[in-house]
Amino acid sequence: MSGMRLRQLITLSAAEPELQQWLRDGLERYKQGEPLDKALAIAGPLAVEHRDNAIRVAAGIIDTDGDMATWAQARLLSHYLSKELSAHGNQPLKEALRIIGKESKYSQGLRSVRRIYDLLKETKTVDALDMLPPPTKDEEETEHD
């Protein structure tokens, strides 16, 4: 990040307390020796954690009733991420998708239904539908026909 960009960010952050806090925390980590991109959580483990949280939030927004199977959430989210579906008009979903896309270096492999499913499955409580195994490759292909 250039010095000019950093000055612009500091100026813009004056009106946004959340942005100001993020910048303060990141600069503190930078002073302690972390590379700037990692200190600001735009690379490294924190960026991956932000991306994973955004994916979980997006899945929750997609499943408004809470009765969708994890595999169905993953499949639908994959369609949104690949831009086959538009989140037009759904501002919270658009924001979550923007965060996921912003971490593009870390989201490349996460556009597949299987990878999203695995991430969502890690934190989801088990219900009757989730006890069923995900579809096999043949079953997936049948769904698309």
Q: Give the residue carrying structure tokens 């002073």.
A: 31
CB neighbours of 47 closer than 8 A, spacing ≥ 6? 41, 103, 105, 106
Across the range 33-60, mean pLDDT stands at 79
> What's the rounded Cα separation, in Å, for the pair 75 and 73?
5
More confident residue, 125 or 97: 97
Whether pLDDT at 65 is above 80? yes
**Which of 52, 66, 58 lies closest to 122, judged by CA?**
52
Q: What is the pLDDT of residues 23-41, one digit of tens each?
A: 888 888 888 998 877 787 7
Q: What is the pLDDT of residues 98-116, one digit of tens each?
A: 777 765 555 555 668 888 8
DSSP summary character for residue 132:
S
Q: How confident is the model at residue 67 (pLDDT cuts 50, 70, 90)?
A: confident
